[in-house]
């Protein structure tokens, strides 16, 4: 049985499905500028399309909560209208609350499928706390597992609102893509020399005021469709492996190493 969405089910139906799986999944998105040619919810549109196809391809049963449509985007919230960011504490709190109720209801594994490049640092903190505090085993899976932007668009800036992300939207929601062929070409500003922060503190500065990077005019629906297919296959394979994994492997109370012997 493939991945199953819970939103349309009754509580009784969910209870019956829990007898078939101990794995619960939830997508984590974002709501932010993607340049003048893409909508605010681009990460969610693309991520949901990939996740929907991945659910169909799964060989094992896992249950899926509705996606959280917001994430960590405070780096661009001051400069671009419409951008809404969660704080780190809010996203961590959301993840902890989901984990707490999942653990109470008997789930042993919790999978966060990440749609947005600004979320991983915060998700890593959340998953560390979840394992320690609730006993449930957390995982973070990138929704683009199985594909590579560089494979289709070499030798150009890639990332936010670039040719690759524009291609994904052309494949998923072409009706929402604006005139990408005339979107500005943006070579992102970089810090000099070896100075490169883990997280950009000012997206407006980094993107030269445009809200995106790269060369969107190079996008194609064909590349987007291929990346979605590859990503769906990668995500399905990873979640199947998580479903099959026994979390009991991490519950041993044996010491991590042999005690040191005193020299006589």
Q: pLDDT tens digits for 147-157?
A: 999 999 999 99
Residue 216 · residue 243 · CB < 8 Å: no
Average pLDDT for residues 8-20, to the nearest whole number?
94
pLDDT band (50, 70, 90) for residue 211: confident
Q: Quickly tell me which residue has 């896992």 as its tokens.
A: 62
Q: pLDDT tens digits for 169-179?
A: 999 999 999 99
Q: pLDDT tens digits for 90-140?
A: 999 999 999 999 999 999 999 999 999 889 999 999 999 999 999 899 999
Q: Which pLDDT value is given to residue 260? A: 47
Please state, in angstroms and rounded to a whole number, the distance separating the CA atoms of residues 123 and 93. 10
Q: Which pLDDT value is given to residue 184? A: 95
The tokens for 199 are: 């997280």
Q: Which pLDDT value is given to residue 248? A: 81
Average pLDDT for residues 12-24, to the nearest whole number?
94
Average pLDDT for residues 80-91, to the nearest whole number?
93
Tell me the average pLDDT of the chain.
Answer: 90
Question: Strands 63-64, 23-28: parallel, antiparallel or unpaired by DSSP?
Answer: parallel
Which phi and psi (to 5°) does residue 119 adopt?
-90, -25
Residue 69 · residue 41 · CB < 8 Å: yes
pLDDT band (50, 70, 90) for residue 209: confident
Q: Is the pLDDT of residue 256 over 60?
A: no
The domain covering 4-245 belongs, at the CATH homologous superfamily level, to Creatininase (3.40.50.10310)
Domain ranges in the chain are 4-245
Q: Which pLDDT value is given to residue 232? A: 97
The larger pLDDT score, comparing residue 78 to residue 199, is at 78
Please state, in angstroms and rounded to a whole number, the distance separating the CA atoms of residues 237 and 247. 18
DSSP lists the bridge partners of residue 64 as 5, 25
Q: pLDDT tens digits for 38-68?
A: 999 999 999 999 999 999 999 999 999 999 9
Q: Quickly tell me which residue has 């109720």 as its tokens.
A: 101
**HEC string of the chain?**
CCCEECCCCCHHHHHHHCCCCCEEEEEECCECCCCCCCCCCHHHHHHHHHHHHHHHHCCCCCEECCCECCCCCCCCCCCCCCCECCCHHHHHHHHHHHHHHHHHCCCCEEEEEECCCCCHHHHHHHHHHHHHHHCCEEEEEECCCCCCHHHHCCCCCCCCCCHHHHHHHHHHCHHHCCCHHHCCCECCCCCCCCCCCCCCCCHHHHCCCCCCCECHHHCCHHHHHHHHHHHHHHHHHHHHHHHHCCHHHHCCCCCCCCCCCCCC
Q: Which pLDDT value is given to residue 264? A: 45
Which pTM value belongs to this model? 0.90
């Amino acid at each position: 049985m493939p991945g199953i969405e819970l939103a349309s089910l009754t509580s009784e139906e969910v209870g019956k499905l829990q007898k078939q799986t101990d794995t619960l999944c939830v997508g984590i998105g974002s709501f932010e500028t993607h340049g003048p040619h893409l909508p605010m919810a681009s990460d969610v549109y693309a991520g949901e399309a990939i996740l929907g196809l991945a659910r169909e391809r799964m060989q094992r049963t896992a249950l899926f909560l509705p996606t959280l449509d917001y994430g960590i985007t405070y780096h661009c919230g001051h400069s671009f209208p419409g951008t809404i960011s969660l704080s780190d504490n809010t996203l961590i709190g959301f993840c902890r609350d989901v984990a707490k109720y999942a653990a109470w209801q008997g789930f042993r594994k919790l999978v966060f499928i990440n749609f947005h490049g600004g979320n991983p640092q915060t998700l890593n903190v959340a998953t560390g706390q979840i394992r320690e505090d609730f006993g449930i085993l957390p995982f973070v899976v990138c929704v683009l597992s199985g594909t590579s932007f560089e494979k289709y668009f070499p030798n150009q800036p890639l990332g936010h609102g670039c040719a690759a992300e524009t291609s994904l939207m052309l494949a998923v929601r072409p009706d929402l893509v604006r005139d990408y062929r005339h979107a500005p070409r943006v070579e992102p500003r970089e810090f000099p020399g070896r100075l490169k922060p883990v997280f950009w503190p000012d997206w407006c500065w980094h993107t030269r005021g445009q809200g995106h990077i790269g060369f969107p005019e190079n996008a194609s629906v064909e590349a987007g469709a291929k990346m979605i297919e590859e990503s769906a296959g990668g995500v399905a394979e990873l979640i199947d492996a998580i479903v099959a994994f026994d979390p009991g492997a991490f519950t041993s109370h044996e010491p991590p190493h042999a005690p040191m012997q005193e020299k006589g």
